[in-house]
């Protein structure tokens, strides 16, 4: 093997690995720029030595391989990628190639922002969204229709229009708005979960979730930038098709512009270089497209990308500054995270003083030392991170930073549970920052939302030794004498505080459960657990195995919750909260019964369902008097099988002769005219939607699919238009 062959092989393998990490695992091991450089290097070598190019070279591929979770579909039109460049000189060359390719004919460009999310192909048939498919490997992608349906700014029904083909594809980018990303990460931090690296990963992770209800909670959004149909004749240009897409109700970012020369393109690029940071969506460059569809066809395609378009990528925003100090924060769950304190430096629109270093591994990997000149990057990330060290500027005699062995707050020996990247302080009951953070969580808006007792006040009370656990909060009314002596605690503040504490006793049990700060029990899980067990006593008496059978509650969550409730210290807190009058059970009726036709029947729901989420099906069954359980036994009446039900469940049901029915069978049993009235909400829906507003079908109630067995319910389409 020659040295060149070796080099090609090594580059190919590296790129395959990076591709796999990026597309399958959502891990960006290297900055985009470095990946693109490696790819360009390989492309260059392959051009010079085509005989050494490997058959499956990453230069020939459009993207990653396909995940197994979702059914896949072939793309009617290949989903190609774009040629990338970071240089204006390359853009001028591109312009020359286009000019030559069009034989001197006049042409116009369209410039658009390059949104940093997940590419999506949406099919609309007769004005209705019928399919959403990810890019996958460019030829075939994952069908994630139910998940994209949760994207609020994406119309499920289009405004009817004469120029709208009966079937067409809208291409575009699904993304997580930056404020949503920040909020999500804050919640994850509070729940002791690993942080998401950037909005793109968060978005792609969300789209892979099996339960569309969880996807909806991620508040993804969509921008359309492409239109495909067998007959695009009605639209001579890409820009005309963008205007049409928008007029039909599809979201099109209004940042695009027609440019009549490369100079205008460069002006657009410069204009958005900083302005893009004011948008609520991450962008990493500009896409430049030849506007005229016929001219696009003349220019054609290379194996992987169109010759009529190119992406200009902004260099990742980076700055060089000095690392002064590394401090260690202890979070609510005891996770210890290093935070780098830097000499302030301007970066991508803000002044950066701190950067994250994620964990101990990263300190070692970067060989960070105090006093080093470091590079900080913002890239897609919100919190800047240290990406490297300028070794040429390392001060003499510098020493490596060693991660502390003991908790910086309480000196307890740190542990690192197997499989976790974070060191943790195990002193849950005595470590001040953990106790304080739990109190802050308890009083926070989404938990008990105690008026007059914000994070700051509760922190102050903690420092003064007035409160240590949430239960202590309810002793405060008896300690009025001590409160009045405090500075900045006037009569009015005390009244507010006491009224807030009193009012918190009305906060429903699911939020109390969330407020307890049990690791992995976020809002959704707390809601599910409360709805399922209804009282804290029932919940506390349940084993981890049984907890794990509740929909949305995985093994790790179940273990964590069961361990929490078995702990004496926690049980004491619970008892005291209960005694203080805090809601430790759901009040009111269980969801109202609609009929009694399922009384005495038990069901297991397994797999992913088409028309309802699991929760909806469970509610439906319970409203008709049935029960839903987690495990299959001889006594079980029915196993309701969705898509991708585990084979073990099916086998067990067959073995115990439990009938297996489908979602449709179940709704057919229930949707006879006398129990579910025709939902008249459809009739009153406005036929002509307001301009620029995507037309949404009524959100509630979702009618059961008209079942051939009962003939119940009319199709939605006829009633809408
Ligand atoms: S056009 C034939 N326009 O960038 C290529 N792509 O490698 C059609 N992207 O995965 C793509 N913003 O998801 C186009 N305004 C835009 C875009 C855009 C983001 C993404 C797209 C694709 C990647 C291109």
- Cβ 598 vs Cβ 621: under 8 Å: yes
- Is the residue at 420 inside a domain? no
- Is the residue at 32 inside a domain? yes
Q: Which residue has the tokens 């929909």?
A: 551
Percent of the chain with pLDDT over 90: 47
- Is the residue at 194 inside a domain? yes
Q: Which among 378, 393, 408 is the end of a domain? A: 393
Q: Where does the pLDDT of residue 381 fall: very low under 50, low under 70, confident under 90, or very high at 90 and above?
A: low
- DSSP state for residue 315 in the 8-state scheme: P
- Is the residue at 712 inside a domain? no
Give the range with max mean pLDDT: 32-46, 96-110, 660-674. 96-110
Question: Which of 91, 32, 95 is closest to 40 using CA atoms?
Answer: 32
Gap between the Cα atoms of 305 and 78, Å rounded: 10
Q: Where does the pLDDT of residue 246 fall: very low under 50, low under 70, confident under 90, or very high at 90 and above?
A: very high
135 marked as binding residue = yes
CATH number of the domain to which 548 belongs: 1.10.150.20
Q: Give the pLDDT confidence score for residue 26 in this predicted structure.
A: 60
173 marked as binding residue = yes
Gap between the Cα atoms of 558 and 553, Å rounded: 6
> 317-356: per-residue pLDDT in tens?
788 999 999 999 998 989 998 999 999 988 876 678 889 8
Peptide bond into 701 cis (omega under 30): yes
Q: Give the pLDDT confidence score for residue 382 in this predicted structure.
A: 62
219 marked as binding residue = no
Q: Give the pLDDT confidence score for residue 692 in this predicted structure.
A: 36
Gap between the Cα atoms of 208 and 174, Å rounded: 12
When comparing pLDDT for 128 and 682, which is higher? Answer: 128
Is 442 a pocket residue for ligand 1 (Cβ < 6 Å)?
no
Q: Give the pLDDT confidence score for residue 622 in this predicted structure.
A: 80
Give yes or no for residue 452 having a pLDDT over 50.
yes
85 plus 37 within the same structural domain: no
Is 625 a pocket residue for ligand 1 (Cβ < 6 Å)?
no
Is 284 a pocket residue for ligand 1 (Cβ < 6 Å)?
no
Lowest mean pLDDT among 54-58, 399-403, 534-538: 54-58
Other beta carbons within 10 Å of 287: 19
- Is the residue at 398 inside a domain? no
Mean pLDDT over 14-40 rounds to: 75
277 plus 227 within the same structural domain: yes
CATH number of the domain to which 29 belongs: 1.10.287.610
Q: How many CA atoms lie within 13 A of 575 on its CB side?
A: 7
Gap between the Cα atoms of 642 and 673, Å rounded: 25
Gap between the Cα atoms of 171 and 134, Å rounded: 10
431 marked as binding residue = yes
- DSSP state for residue 503 in the 8-state scheme: H
In our burial notation (b when 16+ CB lie closer than 10 A, e otherwise), range 597-613 reads ebeeebbbbbbbbeebb
- Is the residue at 45 inside a domain? yes
First-residue to last-residue Cα distance in the chain: 68
Q: Which among 313, 335, 357 is the end of a domain? A: 313
Lowest mean pLDDT among 17-21, 236-240, 583-587: 17-21
Mean pLDDT over 365-380 rounds to: 86
Q: Where does the pLDDT of residue 714 fall: very low under 50, low under 70, confident under 90, or very high at 90 and above?
A: very low
Q: Which residue has the tokens 């990490």?
A: 21
259 marked as binding residue = no
- Cβ 698 vs Cβ 658: under 8 Å: no
When comparing pLDDT for 627 and 45, which is higher? Answer: 45
Q: Give the pLDDT confidence score for residue 123 in this predicted structure.
A: 96
Is 112 a pocket residue for ligand 1 (Cβ < 6 Å)?
yes
Percent of the chain with pLDDT over 70: 87
664 plus 596 within the same structural domain: yes
When comparing pLDDT for 689 and 587, which is higher? Answer: 587
What is the 3-state secondary structure of 387-426? EEECHHHCCCCCCECCCCCECCCCCCECECCCCCCCEECC
169 marked as binding residue = no
Give yes or no for residue 13 having a pLDDT over 60.
yes
Q: Which among 267, 290, 313 is the end of a domain? A: 313
Q: Give the pLDDT confidence score for residue 61 in this predicted structure.
A: 41
Give strand pairing partners of 602: 627
36 marked as binding residue = yes
Q: Where does the pLDDT of residue 592 fall: very low under 50, low under 70, confident under 90, or very high at 90 and above?
A: low
When comparing pLDDT for 408 and 58, which is higher? Answer: 408
Give strand pairing partners of 258: 110
The residue length of the chain stands at 721
Q: Give the pLDDT confidence score for residue 693 in this predicted structure.
A: 34
- Cβ 287 vs Cβ 91: under 8 Å: no
Report CA(119)–ligand 1 centroid distance (Å). 7
Residue nearest atom 4 in ligand 1 by C-alpha distance: 114
Report CA(133)–ligand 1 centroid distance (Å). 15
What lies within 8 Å, CB to CB, of 293 at 6+ separation is: 232, 235, 236, 237, 238, 241
Distance (Å) of CA 705 to CA 70, 282, 712: 22, 38, 8
Residue nearest atom 17 in ligand 1 by C-alpha distance: 114
What is the 3-state secondary structure of 280-297? CCCEEEEEEEECEHHHHH
Domain count, the chain: 6
Q: Quick one: which atom of ligand 1 is closest to the CA of 82?
A: 7
Is 114 a pocket residue for ligand 1 (Cβ < 6 Å)?
yes
120 plus 214 within the same structural domain: yes
Is 226 a pocket residue for ligand 1 (Cβ < 6 Å)?
yes
Gap between the Cα atoms of 355 and 383, Å rounded: 7
Is 173 a pocket residue for ligand 1 (Cβ < 6 Å)?
yes
305 plus 339 within the same structural domain: no
Q: Ligand 1, from 115, 228, 289, 306: best to mutate by most atoms within 8 Å of Cβ?
A: 115
Gap between the Cα atoms of 64 and 42, Å rounded: 17
> 457-515: per-residue pLDDT in tens?
999 999 999 999 999 999 999 999 999 999 888 888 999 999 999 999 999 999 999 99
CATH number of the domain to which 348 belongs: 2.40.50.140
Q: Quick one: which atom of ligand 1 is closest to the CA of 305?
A: 2
What lies within 8 Å, CB to CB, of 25 at 6+ separation is: none
Give the range with max mean pLDDT: 89-93, 483-487, 711-715. 89-93
Question: Which of 593, 664, 659 is closest to 626 using CA atoms?
Answer: 593
Q: Where does the pLDDT of residue 24 fall: very low under 50, low under 70, confident under 90, or very high at 90 and above?
A: very low
- Cβ 273 vs Cβ 314: under 8 Å: yes
Q: Quick one: which atom of ligand 1 is closest to the CA of 173?
A: 13
Question: Which of 119, 145, 312 is closest to 212 using CA atoms?
Answer: 145
Is 81 a pocket residue for ligand 1 (Cβ < 6 Å)?
yes
Q: Residues 9, 25, 68, 114: which is the catalytic one? A: 114
Gap between the Cα atoms of 666 and 598, Å rounded: 10
CATH number of the domain to which 688 belongs: 3.40.50.10190
Is 83 a pocket residue for ligand 1 (Cβ < 6 Å)?
no
Report CA(81)–ligand 1 centroid distance (Å). 7
- Is the residue at 424 inside a domain? no
Domain containing 501: what range? 432-506
Alpha carbon dihedral 370, 375, 377, 382, in 10-degree steps, equals 10
Structure tokens at 289: 């497209």
216 plus 292 within the same structural domain: yes
Give the range with max mean pLDDT: 179-188, 258-267, 345-354. 258-267
Q: Where does the pLDDT of residue 190 fall: very low under 50, low under 70, confident under 90, or very high at 90 and above?
A: low
Gap between the Cα atoms of 506 and 580, Å rounded: 11
Lowest mean pLDDT among 3-12, 89-98, 693-702: 693-702
Mean pLDDT over 300-314 rounds to: 92
Q: Where does the pLDDT of residue 629 fall: very low under 50, low under 70, confident under 90, or very high at 90 and above?
A: confident
When comparing pLDDT for 422 and 563, which is higher? Answer: 563
248 plus 111 within the same structural domain: yes
Q: Is 208 labeled as catalytic in the residue annotation? A: no
562 plus 604 within the same structural domain: no
Give strand pairing partners of 585: 535
Report CA(137)–ligand 1 centroid distance (Å). 14
Give yes or no for residue 217 having a pLDDT over 60.
yes
502 plus 513 within the same structural domain: no
Q: Which residue has the tokens 């990026």?
A: 22
- Is the residue at 181 inside a domain? yes
Lowest mean pLDDT among 118-122, 419-423, 612-616: 612-616
Report CA(123)–ligand 1 centroid distance (Å). 17
Mean pLDDT over 694-711 rounds to: 34
Report CA(114)–ligand 1 centroid distance (Å). 6
Report CA(271)–ligand 1 centroid distance (Å). 20
When comparing pLDDT for 670 and 602, which is higher? Answer: 602
Q: Where does the pLDDT of residue 57 fall: very low under 50, low under 70, confident under 90, or very high at 90 and above?
A: low
- Return left, alpha or beta for 672; rule: phi > 0 is left, psi -120 to 50 is alpha, else beta: beta
Q: Quick one: which atom of ligand 1 is closest to the CA of 253?
A: 15
Q: Give the pLDDT confidence score for residue 55 in this predicted structure.
A: 61
Gap between the Cα atoms of 225 and 239, Å rounded: 9
514 plus 624 within the same structural domain: no
Q: What rounded mean pLDDT belongs to the chain? A: 84
614 marked as binding residue = no
Q: Give the pLDDT confidence score for residue 562 in this predicted structure.
A: 96
247 plus 339 within the same structural domain: no
Mean pLDDT over 19-34 rounds to: 69
When comparing pLDDT for 23 and 490, which is higher? Answer: 490
Q: Give the pLDDT confidence score for residue 304 in this predicted structure.
A: 80
Gap between the Cα atoms of 224 and 161, Å rounded: 18
Report CA(219)–ligand 1 centroid distance (Å). 21
Q: Quick one: which atom of ligand 1 is closest to the CA of 118?
A: 13
Q: Quick one: which atom of ligand 1 is closest to the CA of 113?
A: 15
- DSSP state for residue 372 in the 8-state scheme: -
């Amino acid at each position: 093997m020659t040295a060149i062959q070796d080099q090609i092989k090594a580059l190919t393998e590296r790129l395959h690995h990076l591709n796999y990490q990026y597309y399958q695992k959502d891990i960006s091991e290297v900055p985009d720029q470095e990946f693109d450089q490696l790819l360009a290097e390989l492309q260059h070598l392959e051009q010079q030595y085509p005989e050494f190019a490997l058959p499956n070279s990453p230069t020939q591929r459009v993207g990653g391989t396909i995940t197994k979770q979702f059914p896949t579909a072939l793309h009617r039109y290949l989903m190609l990628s774009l040629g990338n460049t970071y240089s204006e000189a390359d853009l001028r060359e591109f312009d020359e190639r286009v000019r030559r390719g069009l034989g001197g004919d006049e042409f116009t460009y369209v410039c658009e922002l390059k949104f940093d999310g997940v590419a999506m192909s949406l099919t609309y048939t007769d004005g209705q969204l019928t399919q959403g498919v990810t890019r996958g490997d460019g030829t075939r992608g994952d069908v994630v229709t139910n998940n994209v349906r949760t994207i609020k700014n994406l119309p499920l029904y289009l405004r009817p229009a004469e120029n709208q083909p009966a079937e067409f594809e809208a291409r575009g980018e699904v993304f997580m708005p930056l404020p949503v990303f920040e909020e999500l990460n804050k919640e994850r931090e509070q729940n002791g979960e690993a942080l998401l690296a950037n909005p793109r990963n968060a978005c792609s992770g969300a789209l892979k979730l099996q339960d569309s209800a969880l996807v909806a909670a991620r508040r993804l959004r969509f921008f359309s930038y492409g239109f495909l149909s067998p007959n695009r004749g009605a639209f001579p240009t890409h820009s005309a098709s963008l205007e049409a897409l928008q007029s039909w109700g599809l979201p099109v970012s209004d940042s695009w512009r027609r440019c009549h020369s490369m100079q205008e393109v460069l002006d657009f690029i410069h204009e958005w270089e900083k302005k893009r940071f004011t948008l609520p969506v991450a962008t990493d460059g500009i896409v430049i497209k030849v506007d005229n569809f016929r001219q696009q066809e003349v220019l054609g395609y290379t194996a992987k990308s169109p010759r009529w378009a190119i992406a200009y990528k902004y260099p990742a925003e980076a700055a060089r500054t000095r690392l002064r100090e590394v401090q260690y924060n202890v979070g609510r769950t005891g996770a210890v995270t290093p935070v780098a304190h830097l000499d302030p430096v301007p970066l991508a629109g803000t002044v950066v003083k701190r950067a994250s270093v994620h964990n101990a591994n990263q300190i070692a990997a970067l060989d960070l030392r105090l006093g080093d000149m470091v590079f900080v990057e913002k890239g897609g990330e919100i919190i800047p991170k240290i990406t490297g060290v300028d070794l040429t500027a390392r001060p003499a005699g510098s020493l490596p930073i060693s991660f502390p062995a003991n908790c910086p707050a309480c000196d307890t020996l740190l542990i690192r549970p197997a499989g976790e990247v974070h060191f943790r302080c195990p002193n849950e009951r005595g470590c001040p920052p953990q106790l304080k953070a739990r109190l802050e969580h308890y009083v926070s808006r989404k938990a008990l939302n105690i008026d007059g007792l914000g994070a700051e006040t509760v922190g102050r009370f903690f420092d003064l030794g007035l409160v240590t656990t949430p239960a202590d909060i309810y002793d405060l009314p008896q300690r009025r004498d001590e409160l009045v002596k405090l500075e900045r605690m006037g009569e009015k503040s005390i009244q507010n505080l006491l009224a807030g504490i009193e009012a918190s006793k009305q906060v429903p049990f699911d939020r109390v459960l969330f407020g307890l700060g049990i690791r992995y029990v976020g809002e959704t899980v707390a809601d599910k657990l409360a709805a399922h067990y209804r009282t804290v006593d029932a919940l506390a008496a349940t084993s981890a195995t049984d907890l794990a059978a509740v929909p949305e509650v995985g093994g790790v969550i179940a273990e964590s919750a069961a361990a929490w409730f078995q702990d004496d210290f926690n049980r004491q807190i619970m008892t005291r909260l209960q005694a203080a009058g805090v809601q430790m059970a759901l009040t009111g009726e269980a969801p109202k019964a609609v009929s009694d036709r399922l009384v005495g029947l038990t069901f297991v729901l397994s797999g992913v369902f088409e028309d309802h989420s699991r929760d909806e099906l469970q509610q439906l069954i319970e409203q008709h008097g049935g029960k839903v359980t987690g495990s299959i036994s001889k006594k079980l009446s029915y196993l309701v099988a969705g898509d991708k039900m585990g084979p073990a469940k099916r086998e067990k049901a067959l073995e115990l002769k439990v009938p297996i029915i489908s979602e449709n069978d179940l709704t057919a049993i229930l949707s006879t005219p006398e129990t579910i009235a025709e939902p008249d909400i459809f009739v009153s829906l406005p036929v002509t939607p307001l301009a620029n507003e995507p037309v949404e079908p009524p959100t509630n109630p979702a009618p059961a699919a008209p079942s051939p067995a009962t003939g119940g319910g009319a199709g939605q389409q006829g009633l809408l238009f």
